[in-house]
Amino acid sequence: MKKNKNEVKKQIPEKKKYTLKAFIYFSLRILTILCMIRQIQLGNYMNAALCIGTLILFSVTIIMEHKLNIDFPDLLEITVWIFIFSSEILGEINQFYIHFENWDLILHTTNGFIMAGIGYSLVELLNINENIKVNLSPIYVAIVAISFSMTIGVFWEFFEYGMDKYLHKDMQKDTIINTIYSVTLHDDKKNEVVEVPIKSVIINGEDWTAKYGGYIDIGLNDTMEDLFVNFIGAVIFSIFGYLYTIGKGKYASNFIIKRKTE
């Protein structure tokens, strides 16, 4: 039996979408493999191992789809792949975190958006589960999505702190500061904030104010900025998610995981 013209027209966009998805997937894998080969040539075996880990992460969404019988929307899957590549290959190995000032903030904002979508998806999957009766209001679902995203963001900051403290890494990047606001430094021990301009800092005989412009914090500013932009990303998605739930927008559906249909 021949397919009618409408069926053929519907299949063409789907085919183009799948072709684009496959192109991005294999392009990122090829670039990662080339990067791994280059790191091996340079003797950077830790970076080469990071490339292998990245290749594994690329396959996580595909494995989850088959194992859990769920469907990742194409745009979500592509965004996750690009996020992984941007974080590990560009950010860590090619030092985009250093060369581009806001690279880390962009990734944390994206992470907040993605994690909010996943948190929203978990509630949606429960809502349509015949064995679990859950009926939440749209605004509550949006709050759950934000909370889930922020929880993941906090756990990631725990991880960064642990890496810095116990493995002596610098994942929580330091920030140059030139003024201290502190109650502790009050001469009369009063509960009043004292402003102390940093005019001279000598570390191991070196004048840091002349070289760096001040002193450094221990990653607090970096952590709070990461959590703040994570929150922004989560709120942006939750707005789209709320509109989707009340039937006034479809954009969020591109980032909401669904159960596979027969």
The predicted-structure confidence for 213-243, as pLDDT tens digits, reads as follows 888 887 899 999 999 999 999 999 999 999 9
Residue 1: pLDDT band with limits 50, 70, 90 = very low
Q: What are 120-134's pLDDT values in tens digits?
A: 998 888 766 555 555
AA letter at 205: G
Give the pLDDT of residue 215.
87
- What is the share, in percent, of the chain residues with pLDDT greater than 90? 62
pLDDT (tens digit, 9 = 90+) per residue, 47-64? 999 999 999 999 999 999
What number of other Cβ atoms are within 10 A of residue 50's Cβ? 19
Q: Which two tokens mark 170?
A: 């610098």
Torsion angle, alpha carbons of 34, 100, 239, 118, to 10? 30
Q: Is 105 within the bounds of a domain? A: no
Are residues 142 and 29 both part of a single domain? no
Number of Cβ within 10 Å of residue 105's Cβ equals 17
Q: How many CB atoms lie within 10 A of CB 116?
A: 32
Same domain, 160 and 183: no
Q: Does 262 score more than 70 pLDDT?
A: no
Do 15 and 141 lie in one domain? The reply is no
Is 81 among the domain residues?
yes
Q: Which residues form the domain of 189?
A: 176-216
Let me know whether 70 and 45 are in one domain.
Answer: yes
Last residue of a domain, one of 54, 69, 100: 100
Q: Count structural domains, the chain.
A: 3
Question: Is the domain of 95 the same as that of 53?
Answer: yes
Residue 10 lies in a domain: yes
Percentage of residues in the chain having pLDDT higher than 70: 89
- Enumerate the β-bridge partners of residue 206: 203
68 secondary structure, DSSP code = H
Q: Verify that 49 and 89 share a domain, yes or no.
A: yes
Whole-prediction pTM value?
Answer: 0.86
Token pair of 121, please?
A: 């998806």
DSSP character string of 109-153: HHHHHHHHHHHHHHHHHHHT-TTS-----HHHHHHHHHHHHHHHH
